[in-house]
Amino acid sequence: MKHVVVVEDDAVNALLLRTVLQRRGGYKVTVTEDPHQLMTMARAGEVDLVVLDVSLNESRWNGELVNGIDICRILKRDADTSRIPVLLATAHAMRGDAQRFIDESGADDYVSKPVELDGFIAQVRRWLPEAA
């Protein structure tokens, strides 16, 4: 079973993403706000895809506040984790934002909030074609 890690600080969004990924996608899902937990799992080869909120309020990396752009850069610069697909998720959906966020972070894709559930699952499946 493919493992998706959702990095999200909003409890309602986290629950929605977890539920749709599990029920409609058939994925194992871990929700966290902790970049250290994400990196530990990713370096251990336990992560197949990351859905990463751009705006995080309390996430810290080595004592410093970080957002989703920062965490994505950390993932993509690490040789052990750079191959893991990252989908940025954000409510900042103005024209041009998607490409700017992808360019700044090195992310592989982008999903705007509120998430359109069928489209979101189809997008995840493009990155993870097999659920098992």
For residue 132, pLDDT over 70 is answered with: no
Judge whether 6 and 18 are in contact, CB under 8 Å: yes
* pLDDT for 130 beyond 80: no
Q: Which amino acid is at 50?
A: V
Characterize 61-98 residue by residue with b for buried, 16 or more Cβ atoms within 10 angstroms of its Cβ, and e for exposed.
Answer: eeeeebbbbbbbebbbeeeebeebbbbbbbeeeeeebb
DSSP state of 8: -
- pTM reported for the whole predicted model: 0.93
User: Residue 102 has what pLDDT?
Assistant: 86
Return d(Cα 3, Cα 107) in angstroms, integer. Answer: 18
Give the model confidence (pLDDT) of 12-40 as tens digits.
Answer: 999 999 999 999 999 999 999 999 999 99
Given a cut of 90, whether residue 95 has pLDDT beyond it is no
Domain annotation for the chain: domains and CATH numbers: 3-126 (3.40.50.2300)
